[in-house]
Structure 1
Amino acid sequence: MTLSLDPTPPLTPPWEFVSRDSRRAGSSGRWVFDTALALLTQPLDAAIGESLQMIGTSAGADRAWMFEYDADHLRFRNTYEWSRGGAGSFVQDLQNVPVAIIAWLHQHLVAGQAVMINDIDALPRSAGPLRAEFLRQGNKSVLSVPMFHDGRLVACIGFDAVEMPRRWSGEIADLFSCADLIAAARYGRPQVDVVAGEASSTPDAMIYLRRANGVRGTPLSEIVGLRSSKDYTEVWLVDGTMALDLRTLTQWLGLLPAGGFVRVHRTAVVNHQFVRDVERRESGAWQLRVHELKEHWPVSRSGRAELRARLGI
């Protein structure tokens, strides 16, 4: 008797949406326990970093990462990442970026679905900006799992496959559970009363400076102002030092939160909380004294209206 065999293997869909109540079994049983143990015994940032390394290694991923949304779901920023040697690190990128770049992905995360992309090249036209970013990072497959707290989407956790395409399956259920634990630890802790003289427990937003000798993470609250330096940007810090960043001032305008920074001149942006004095010269020109910096900063005519509004003058 001759058996007729179909030589065509089953096709893997280019992307898949997986709900929280999917019947897919968990992967190992250890992820949830190890994540909980890390969160209970270590400082929060160290615990999240260790958890990403543990689950990323166990899942055979090349990167494990987490990004967080702002309060209005208008912007997001990379916050945590583990990467296997040779995979490259991108945690310093995508800081305070409009959610529009991940709109196709975001609509499914808001609905509580994990999104597994098995074929980056096959993404629909509406996911064009997302596809371009994945290709820039060298990704071949990506798994994204939404992170909720009090019924609200607050972040996303996931895996990248760089060396070769990867289709995750049983790992998704455990990653949902790990996301719940991390969300409870990061967003569920009570805020400390600042009026009583205590600092808030909310971590300060970080932004990553690209310098010639590497990357430096800097809290946004420590940036006094920025000044254009041809194709680069001078980033002035609260301690009086200046770091030369390898991006233009125009690029920085897309990274900075609008609520705290004001463009006062085509060459200058200031954190309005550090403006000490506004000097009006006889010529009609305005200049600022910013924090403890010795040099005055210029204010153009077009920058005066927003500066007045921010300072209430």
Structure 2
Amino acid sequence: MFDTAMLLLTRRLDAAIAGILQVIGADAEADRAWMFEYDADHLRFRNTHEWSRGGVGSFVQDLQHVPVTMIGWLHQRLVLGQAVMVNDIEALPRSAGALRAEFIRQNNKSVLSVPVFHDGRLVACIGFDAVEAPRRWSVEIADLFHCADLIAAARYGRSSIALGGEDSRAAYPALIYLRRAHGILGTPLTEIVGLRSSKDYTEVWLVDGAMVLDPRPLTQWLGLIPPGWFVRIHRTAVVNHQFVREVVRRSSGAWQLRLHDYEDHWPVSRAGRAELRAHLGI
């Protein structure tokens, strides 16, 4: 744990946490070590730091502003101060279905999660993933709890200012990470014009005219976007009401929207009209 303390004393906070994850992850023979943080209300969480062994996929950009309900089974145990060792992903209960699906997506075989508390409140979680083969960590749990205490003191305590740390309580940037031609890029929610369901995928239409086919279904997107900005105009479509340029009412009674600078019109279902009226004041 001397290395952990030295990293916190000699590096900027985010770099120190990244270094800590690398050290403890390698020592524990994990394939991935990570940290996620909760928002102030425990309604959403986001990945903040991650180390992964060479050749092992990284997912730090994927889980941003995610509803805590997705990890509800895990969260119930973390808030009680419990370390959670999942040795068999397939054996997770039905109530952990969303969490199990995420573990499978990341190709995890085993996962260890340890809560991070500050002033008696759950603020974050750190842990290990085993990807290449199932693994059981036991003696490492105590070390991980100690790391959690040091990180909590530096990141959330008064001493974080003296250490030159960043403001950990600043508002989360409203970014969604999308896989685009030049890699995974953080995209501001204000640049998303609309979303369309495409079977198990979602078409993400952007202000620059690009369309990104995202692997997350529309139902998952509904939990990521703020309802005050976005309106569900159809069971297969959601739009950012700030980009509505015109509501076209056909003689047939059908409604369509002209969005931003797009040529195509987006249809509005009968069920979507009431919410659209409320947002646009029509």
Cα deviation, residue 68, structure 1: 3.1
Deviations 1:207-227 (A, max 9, x none): 232468864432333222123
- Structure 2: state its 5+ residue gaps: none
Report the more deviating stretch, 130-139 or 60-69.
130-139
Identify which of 253, 258, 263 aligns with 2:232. 263
Q: Which residue of 2 is the match for residue 281 of structure 1?
A: 249
Distance 1:252 1:100, change over 3 A: closer
Quick one: distance in 1 between partners of 2:185 and 2:84? Answer: 31
Distance 1:38 1:312, change over 3 A: farther
Q: Which residue of 1 is the match for residue 2 of structure 2?
A: 29
Cα deviation, residue 70, structure 1: 4.2
- Larger-gyration structure (1/2): 1
Q: Is the 8 A contact 1:228 1:267 kept in 2?
A: yes
Cα deviation, residue 71, structure 1: 4.4
Task: State whether structure 2 residue 130 is matched by structure 1 residue 161.
Answer: yes
Q: Is the 8 A contact 1:262 1:307 kept in 2?
A: yes
Distance 1:287 1:129, change over 3 A: closer
Task: State whether structure 2 residue 279 is matched by structure 1 residue 310.
Answer: yes
Quick one: distance in 1 between partners of 2:226 and 2:167? Answer: 24
Q: Which residue of 2 is the match for residue 115 of structure 1?
A: 84
Q: Is the 8 A contact 1:210 1:247 kept in 2?
A: no
How many residue pairs align between the two structures?
272
Task: Determine helix, strand or coil for the equivalent of 1:89.
Answer: coil
Distance 1:266 1:142, change over 3 A: closer
Deviations 1:136-160 (A, max 9, x none): 4343432212234554333322111
Query: How high is the TM-score relative to the length of structure 1?
Result: 0.69
Distance 1:299 1:39, change over 3 A: same
Aligned residue identity for 2:151 = A
Q: Is the 8 A contact 1:211 1:246 kept in 2?
A: no
Q: Is the 8 A contact 1:69 1:155 kept in 2?
A: yes
- Structure 1: state its 5+ residue gaps: 1-27, 192-200
Deviations 1:234-272 (A, max 9, x none): 312233333233454445335434343221123421123
Q: Is the 8 A contact 2:156 2:168 kept in 1?
A: no
Identify which of 3, 12, 27 aligns with 1:39. 12
Quick one: distance in 1 between partners of 2:143 and 2:120? Answer: 23
How does 1:108-257 map onto structure 2 within 5 Å? 108-118=77-87, 120=89, 127=96, 129-131=98-100, 133-149=102-118, 151-164=120-133, 165-167=135-137, 168-180=140-152, 181-184=154-157, 189=167, 201-210=170-179, 215-229=184-198, 232-257=201-226
Deviations 1:6-58 (A, max 9, x none): xxxxxxxxxxxxxxxxxxxxxx3111330343335xxx4x5544443344234
Q: Is the 8 A contact 2:7 2:16 kept in 1?
A: no
Cα deviation, residue 230, structure 1: 6.0
Cα deviation, residue 303, structure 1: 1.0
Task: Determine helix, strand or coil for the equivalent of 2:11.
Answer: helix
Distance 1:135 1:245, change over 3 A: closer
Distance 1:291 1:71, change over 3 A: farther
Q: Is the 8 A contact 2:7 2:19 kept in 1?
A: no
Distance 1:146 1:221, change over 3 A: farther
Report the more deviating stretch, 301-310 or 122-131.
122-131
Task: Determine helix, strand or coil for the equivalent of 2:81.
Answer: coil
Identity %: 66
Quick one: distance in 2 between partners of 1:117 and 1:109? Answer: 13
Query: How high is the TM-score relative to the length of structure 2?
Result: 0.75
Quick one: distance in 2 between partners of 1:212 and 1:114? Answer: 39
Deviations 1:39-96 (A, max 9, x none): 35xxx4x554444334423443211112233444344343432211233223344455
